[in-house]
A and B are shown apart, each in its own frame.
Chain A
Amino acid sequence: MSSKVPIRLSVNGRVRELDVEPRLLLVHLLRDQLGLTGTHVGCDTSNCGACTVHLDGEAVKSCTVLAVQADGTKVTTIEGLAHGDELHPLQEAFWEDHALQCGYCTPGMIMAAADLLARNPDPSEEEIRHGLEGNLCRCTGYHNIVKAVQDAAEVMHGSAVADRQEVSV
């Protein structure tokens, strides 16, 4: 076993300082050392996207990032997406539209969708489908996931407009 390396990162708004093995994957840091088990592992090859988290605001597959690479970054996981008891619009929409069944892919899917909407607030169906092609779901057939992302986009777009109006008043 190799010697450990100190890292410092922010996870869901909390600063964490840890000593980690250089080979430790970010997903295992999150799950096994920080107890954030909402981020899942579904494959060994970065295909399934169940492990998707945000690293400095961008979606990454945390099974393909070393914990040491996350040194100095801000990480957001599914546990950090809601504001307290108030669900993120994507979480609301996934619930409302039955966009999950077993739920295993769901955290990664929601994190990937959040990244997609950050980059493209008003995506077409095709853009959503291509935007999520790095995340596999075996249960839903994607139909309701696409619908949930559209619905969340509408809600987020609406509140963004409302925010701007508030500012202008």
Chain B
Amino acid sequence: MSVTEERTSGGNGFVGRRLKRKEDPRLITGRATYVEDLTLPGTLYAAVVRSPEAHARITSIDASAAAERAGIEAVFTGEDLADMAAPCPMVWVPPGVEVHVPEHWPLARGKVGYVGQAVAVILGGDKYGVVDAAEDVVVEYDALPVVVDPEAALEPGAPVIHEQFGTNKVFEWSLAGGDVDAALAEADVVLERRIVNHRTAGAAIEPRGAMAEWREGRLTLWSSTQIPHIARVILSIQLGISEEKIRVVAPEVGGGFGSKLQVYGEEVLVAWCARKTGKPVKWTATRSDDMLTTHHGRDQIDDVRIGAKRDGTLTGIHVKVIQDCGSYHLIEGPVIPTFTSCVISGAYDFPAVRTDIVGVFTNKFTTDAIRGAGRPEATHLIEVCMDQLADELGMDALELRRKNFITEFPNERPHGFVYDSGNYHGTLDRCLEMLDLEAFRSEQAELRQRGVYRGVGFSTYVEICGLGPSRALGPDGWGMQGGYFESAQVRVLPTGTVMAYTGTSPHGQGLETSFAQIVADRLGLDPEAVEVIHGDTNTGPFGKDTYGSRSLAVGGEAIARAAEKVQDKAKRIVAHKLEAAPEDIEVAEGAFRVKGSPDKSLTLADVATEAYIPGDLPEGMEAGLDEISFYDPTNFVWPFGAHACVTEVDVETGRVEILRWIAVDDCGPAINPMLIEGQVHGGVVHGIGQALFEQIVYDEHGQLVTGSFVDYAVPTAAEIPSFETDRTETRSPTNSLGVKGVGEAGTIAATPAIVNSVIDALRPLGVTYLDMPLTPMRVWNAIQEARR
């Protein structure tokens, strides 16, 4: 570590330590409970009949043979769902911007717009039996012309997917600051690049699944979701059931990466089916279901123009984004590319920025948030173009970065966002120190003599996370129809241990451990005595769930504040009992004690006894020791870092091998450094996946070509290097913990480092630019092209 470890609170010093995770014992022994592990007596299994057509009218559905099979309870189609109160809501309603939102129902009504769209559902008591029956459902389609290319979809004469709009354009949206036209006009050099950021999948290893029970007028939905609280609101709207009669539980969730930041048709469908049949209904996606109908990410075409003076001073950046939205929206859909615009300035002091976005309907599945959600696209285009611009200027790419790094904080960017804090030179310095660039360059030159092509690529990213300030994101700001606070409740039990409820909904992040560390320090406890409860709308206050690297910077701060409220009350009780002033009570060495008189102290258990057997509380104090906090941040947080990637390219085959990965990230002070490293490793590999292997491919008929893990290439251990990681710590002034987020940082940072590295390796062969994924074929072709 290159930072001085700082204890952020005056307790037992658990914050900052590499504690082993509290959640692991159940996970390593097979005793955890994921949705698919739950079955209630009488459970009906659901199988979904899906459209094999990308664009078609449904002319008839004959489910009679399926319904007649032994063991089949019911078959439902879109017509049967006529009593559903509302289609899937899309929650982005930006003021003054028209967004086309077609009705998207859990089962298609009359028409399908993508392969895999749900057309009917079969319910029965045997999980194999319902799949057999699904084969017997005969659906006749009248095929319509298909459009899969977003640019073609915008051309006059293209098949219009939703006739009511008369166009495939979903929305147009711009965000600018400063005079970009003038900035580009006064530039000595204007770099122009067209960057295709291809479609990817979240590919959590646990496929989606949901089980619903309707009992005594109340609905319980267990779902593999990141957002149980938001799901309850949406189920209430779609099913027309009063919110308090719905309970949503996210049990153990096997990864999300944004793909479970969603309320899918099947979740609503099983709930509707449970109410209709009066029996529990469970649906579990196969991997093929998941590839077809778990939302995809990215899929942008970015036309970039960057202006610079001859000396490397940046004058402006203008990006035109074409976002492929797929044929229908889910809950956020079209808003995702707007997050690209938030960080379009990158780590650089652009005096003028402009992002123009066009969303487009195509006959593909919906794109929505996947790890990074719009920011990986921004970082990719900026960081790749910084290298491209350096080439054009004949400058060193790192020198160009350093010349333009933002150094003053807080820093208001031309488009209104305020970077909270940063030290971009610091992370790059440390990254270069670990890399030893000089040694690499001489080795690189030497190896080239022998026909071995190695390169190094950098990414000096900044990202926006910690969603977020409700005023900025909400209805009158960005246009999201919600608040983005987080809630927490810290309840001391009568024997002095703690249940801490968080409104976030972790699915691998380790919050049961890190949040326990935060609470423990504030209450003089061991984290073992703090149970962190999450993912159940019937416990704790209303929460806003997990996405956008918000859990710690928003949820963690909420839990710290709730714990501090408990601490304050406990101090007043202790002061009363020990005849001292509350301000003279400190939490140290596991006790509440009088400053300067360590022998005068009470433990939290003592305080709890006083609070729950209230015979002698301070005048006017209520009984109990249980506090709630709702924390709505005043700004976003802006993590940053410098990543370096060393690759070797086999020029005979085009195969890229990553030899080294150096990641220096700054997400503020660590609560648990081990968890940060884990997030960085996983995040970077997600980016490596996109850069080298993964791509969602549809053919011209709208058929998904990459519908399984055979053809959608999630990286294995064999393709990945070990990582060299370090951190610097720059506090965010936004929250009392000083923390930023880290869940998406690695993914946001990674892809341009690889692309820049491969271009660096192949520069002697004349390769100057590459789009992802850098498959052997694409790289080999680029080499051949350059040789011609």
Mark A residues whose CB is within 8 Å of B: 1, 21, 23-24, 28, 31-32, 36-45, 47-48, 50, 77-79, 81-82, 87, 91, 94-96, 98, 100-107, 110, 125, 128-130, 132-146
Closest to B674 in A: A98
A124 to chain B, nearest CB (A): 12
B613 vs chain A, min Cβ distance (A): 36
Please, what's the 1-or-0 string for B217-256, where 1 marks a CB less than 8 Å from any CB in chain A? Answer: 0000000000000000000000000000000000011111
Instruction: Name the one of A32, A132, A138 contacting B203, with C-beta atoms under 8 angstroms.
Output: A138
Q: Are A132 and B716 in contact (CB under 8 A)?
A: yes
- Docked CA distance A98–B204 (Å): 18
Q: Are B206 and A136 in contact (CB under 8 A)?
A: no
Q: What are 16 inter-chain pairs, A to B, with CB distance below 8 A? A: A40-B254, A41-B36, A42-B287, A43-B287, A44-B708, A79-B29, A87-B28, A94-B28, A100-B27, A103-B27, A129-B718, A129-B720, A132-B717, A132-B718, A136-B205, A136-B716
Whether the pair A104, B206 counts as a contact (CB closer than 8 A) is yes
Q: Which residue of A lies closest to B206 (CB)?
A: A104
How many chain B residues touch A (CB < 8 A): the figure is 63
Contacts A42-B207, A45-B708, A98-B21; A110 near B253 (Cβ below 8 A): no
Residue among A107, A138, A143 making CB contact with B686, cutoff 8 Å? A138
Contact A45 B714 (CB under 8 A): no
A95–B25 contact, CB under 8 A? yes
Contact count A vs B, C-beta below 8 Å? 186
CB of B34 within 8 A of CB of A133, answer: no
How far is the CB of A89 from the nearest CB of chain B, in Å?
11
Determine the distance from Cα of A15 to Cα of B20 in the docked complex, in whole angstroms. 36
Q: A98-B21, A102-B253, A103-B508 are in contact. Are A138 and B205 (CB under 8 A)?
A: yes
Identify which of A31, A39, A47, A143 contacts B723 (C-beta below 8 A): A143
Q: Are B716 and A101 in contact (CB under 8 A)?
A: no
Q: Which residues of chain B come closer than 8 Å to A95, judged between CB atoms?
A: 20-21, 24-25, 28
**With contacts A28-B127, A98-B677 known, what are 10 further pairs, Cβ within 8 A?**
A32-B39, A40-B205, A47-B709, A87-B29, A95-B25, A98-B678, A103-B24, A104-B206, A106-B28, A138-B205
What are the residues of chain B within 8 A of A107 when measuring CB–CB? 28, 30
Q: Could you tell me the dominant secondary structure of chain B's interface residues?
A: loop
**A37 and B686 form a contact (CB under 8 A):** no
**Given the complex of chains A and B, what is the CA–CA distance between A40 and B207 in angstroms?**
10
Select B30's contact among A38, A45, A100, beta carbons within 8 Å: A38
Assembled-state Cα–Cα distance A169/B714 (Å) = 50
Contact code string B674-708 (vs A, CB < 8 Å = 1, else 0): 11011011111110000000000000000000001
Type the 1/0 row for B250-270, where 1 means its CB is closer than 8 Å to any CB of A: 001111110000000000000
**Alpha-carbon distance A138/B689, docked complex (angstroms):** 10
Question: B708 contacts A103, CB within 8 Å?
Answer: no
Interface centre among A28, A107, A133, A141 (most CB of B within 10 A): A141
Nearest-neighbor residue (CB-CB) of A110 within chain B:
B28
Most chain A CB atoms below 10 A, which of B33, B203, B680, B684: B203
The answer to whether A138 and B681 have CB atoms under 8 Å apart is no
* Docked CA distance A36–B88 (Å): 36
CA distance A135 to B128 in the complex (A): 25
Give chain B residues whose Cβ lies under 8 Å from the Cβ of A23: 128
Instruction: Flag if B29 contacts A141 (CB, 8 Å).
Output: no
Q: How far is the CB of B23 from chain A (nearest CB, A)?
A: 7
Q: Check if B709 sits within 8 Å of A45, measured CB to CB.
A: yes
